[in-house]
Each structure stands twice: as C-alpha cells, then as structure tokens.
C-alpha cells in the first residue's frame, strides 16, 4: 500500500523508532534524512537560492480501492523502472544530482545501500559536468557528510570485494555538513566549493 503525505513534516517532529520497532519495521528507514533535506530544499526554494526537488519514484498502479474520494487507497503497484537518485535540480546555473543515504553503522557505510544503476546514472551525470554527490547520515554518530560521487565510484571500482566504505575514507574525501540554527542541513556552501574546482 502506498500513501502520500498530506504535508511536510519537520525532522524534529518525525518520531524516531524504538529498538523493538527497528527490528520488525524497516519501512521508514532513511526518512529522517529525507525529511530534513526536503525541509532544507524548501527553504532554498523560498529564498530563491536553488530549485532542488525529491524525484518521485516511477510506479505503475495496478489496483485502487475507492471507498470514497477522500480515502482512496492504492492496493497494488509496482516499480516501472529502477529509480536513479533521490534529488536533482539547479543551483547557480549548475545541474545538481544527489543521493541521500542513512546508516546506523559507526565505522563504515554499507555498499549494499548503493545500487549499480544509481552508480551508472551518477557517473553519466558527472561526465556531463553535473555536480553529483551523496549526502550520508551516520545516525548513531549524529554526523552528516557530503561526498562527491566520483570518490564513491572510484572506491567501489578499486575495492570491489569490500562490503563497506570505511568512515575514515568518507571523512578524508568528504565534507562534514552541520545543522543550522534553524534546523536545516545547509549543504549549498559545500556545493559552492565544488563549483570552484
């Protein structure tokens, strides 16, 4: 069943799952970071700094229940094609494309979180001159990093037998991102640095 949100939820209002819920329900995994980025991107749009949106996942609806118009429920759907990345848009005339990933690991980022079709899409965007990156949230450490896609792609190519990327590699090749006083994840200053490269 797919339900669409009726409004924006602030990350501070998003309930954190309990230990018991985490073992049995993985449907909300990664939603904290996405809610935070959606809120941040909304602020960027309101301030006319950037136009960056969450990409909708292309689905084919097969079965819908219409008990009444205000309570329509999608009963069955499937993915038409694999999704590429989570976000894209434009900032200062540059194409921006990035993936948001969240992990509970304290020492590494699991590569199982990244799919081959996402890497291929990101590599193609890099070749076209886009600003392409990952925003990775280590929830156990409460740390956020922006890592250019090229570093992740290179790591995977050169260390294909590894199941994860060490946190030390991410710290050495990425940029820490800090929450603003307003509670936004202000990543555009780092994108400014990438544009100067």
108 versus 12: the higher-pLDDT residue is: 108
Cβ(82)–Cβ(117) under 8 Å? yes
118 known member of a binding site: yes
Asked if pLDDT for residue 167 goes beyond 60, the answer is yes
Q: Which residues of 1-15 are buried (b: 16+ CB within 10 A; e: fewer)?
A: eeeeeeeeeebeeee
The pLDDT, as a whole number, for residue 7 is 43
- Give the C-alpha separation, 120 to 124, whole Å: 6
The pLDDT, as a whole number, for residue 89 is 95
Asked if pLDDT for residue 82 goes beyond 90, the answer is no
Question: CA separation (Å) from 107 to 26, 48, 70, 147?
Answer: 21, 37, 46, 16
Asked if pLDDT for residue 140 goes beyond 90, the answer is yes
Q: Which residues of 78-90 are buried (b: 16+ CB within 10 A; e: fewer)?
A: eeeeebbbbbbbe
Mean model confidence pLDDT for the chain? 81
pLDDT, tens only, 177-192: 999 888 899 999 999 9
Asked if pLDDT for residue 173 goes beyond 50, the answer is yes
42 known member of a binding site: no
The pLDDT, as a whole number, for residue 197 is 81
Asked if pLDDT for residue 170 goes beyond 70, the answer is yes
Asked if pLDDT for residue 168 goes beyond 60, the answer is yes
51 versus 84: the higher-pLDDT residue is: 51
Q: pTM for this structure?
A: 0.74
Question: CA separation (Å) from 76 to 2, 24, 59, 63, 156?
Answer: 8, 22, 10, 5, 35
The pLDDT, as a whole number, for residue 165 is 94
CATH classification (class only), 11-196 = alpha beta
22 known member of a binding site: no
86 known member of a binding site: yes
């Amino acid at each position: 069943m797919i339900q669409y949100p009726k409004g924006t939820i602030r990350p501070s209002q998003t309930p954190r799952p309990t230990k018991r819920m985490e073992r049995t329900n993985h449907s909300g995994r990664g939603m904290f970071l996405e809610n935070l980025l959606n809120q941040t991107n909304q602020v960027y749009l309101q301030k006319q700094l950037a136009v960056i949106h969450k990409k909708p996942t292309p689905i084919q609806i097969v079965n819908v229940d219409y008990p009444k118009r205000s309570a329509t429920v999608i009963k069955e759907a499937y993915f038409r094609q694999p999704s590429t990345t989570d976000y894209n848009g434009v900032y200062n005339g540059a194409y921006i494309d990035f993936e948001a990933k969240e992990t509970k690991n304290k020492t590494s980022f699991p590569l199982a979180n990244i799919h081959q079709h996402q890497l291929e899409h990101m590599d193609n965007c890099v070749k076209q001159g886009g600003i392409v990156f990952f925003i990775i949230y280590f929830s156990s450490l409460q740390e956020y990093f922006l890592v250019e896609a090229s570093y992740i792609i290179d790591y995977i190519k050169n260390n294909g037998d590894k199941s994860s990327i060490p946190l030390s590699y991410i710290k050495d090749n990425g940029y820490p991102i800090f929450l603003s006083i307003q509670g936004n994840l202000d990543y555009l200053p780092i994108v400014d640095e990438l544009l100067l490269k």
